[in-house]
Amino acid sequence: MARFTRLSAADRRTQLMDVALAGLAKGGIQEFTVDRICAAAGVSRGLILHHFGSMGGLLAAVYARLYRETTPDLTALPPEARIEALITGSFAPRAFNRDRLNAWVALWGQIANTPALRDEHRRQYKTYLAQVSAAIAAVADAETDACALAKSLICLIDGLCLQHCLDPAAMPADAAKTACRAFLAPHLGPHLGPNLSPNLCQSTPI
């Protein structure tokens, strides 16, 4: 067990989330136990309840943090730059790496059975969908259903991340970005970034 160190409430919350996130990245939800987290953080079991209310509350806090750290913030960008920023940001090294994706997969698997996590997911997804929809609507033709296109794009991004998690060689970052641009091209055309064109059909068997 790590040695106990007195920290401020904010720093203690951050420490517990750091430990929980590292465990999810290393070993999935099996690592997310009170005993393992408290031992790694060097704290008593009661501190998780004190700071997060429950293990579900800790899961929800970790989920919100992952969203903040890996989802591109499009609000401050000019309209014409948002789509490319979304694509490049979604597959940047800080988000598109094995540890982060392992943690996402572990968290996704708990959403259906953890009310606090499910509620947090709905909040985060609502905000994310609104940002992506607005980015598309800002440059798309009037007849384009921006919300429907945004939902499809988010599903594509999630699927590409899962493919990378299974086998990074089968879906490297450049190929993932190209796949998103190819999907959006019929709808947004000239508003996309440079067209990288690796042969997506030549994937590595899983």
**Does 195 have pLDDT greater than 70?**
no
From the list 108, 151, 121, 105, the residue with the least C-alpha distance to 61 is 121
**Does 25 have pLDDT greater than 80?**
yes
Domain residue extents for the chain: 9-63, 73-190
The count of other CB atoms within 10 Å of the CB of residue 30 is 11
Q: What is the spatial distance between Cα 104 and Cα 63, in angstroms, rounded to a whole number?
A: 8
Q: What is the spatial distance between Cα 129 and Cα 137, in angstroms, rounded to a whole number?
A: 12
Q: What is the spatial distance between Cα 69 and Cα 112, in angstroms, rounded to a whole number?
A: 23
pTM, to two decimals:
0.84
**Does 77 have pLDDT greater than 60?**
yes
* pLDDT confidence of residue 206: 33
**Does 200 have pLDDT greater than 90?**
no
Is residue 191 within 8 A of residue 149, CB to CB? The reply is no
CB under 8 Å to 162, separation ≥6 — which residues? 101, 105
User: pLDDT tens across 146-169, in order?
Assistant: 999 999 999 999 999 999 989 999
CATH of domain 9-63: 1.10.10.60
Is residue 38 within 8 A of residue 45, CB to CB? The reply is yes
Averaged over 93-115, what is the pLDDT?
Answer: 93
The count of other CB atoms within 10 Å of the CB of residue 43 is 22
What class does CATH assign to 73-190? mainly alpha
* pLDDT confidence of residue 56: 94
Percent of the chain with pLDDT over 70: 89
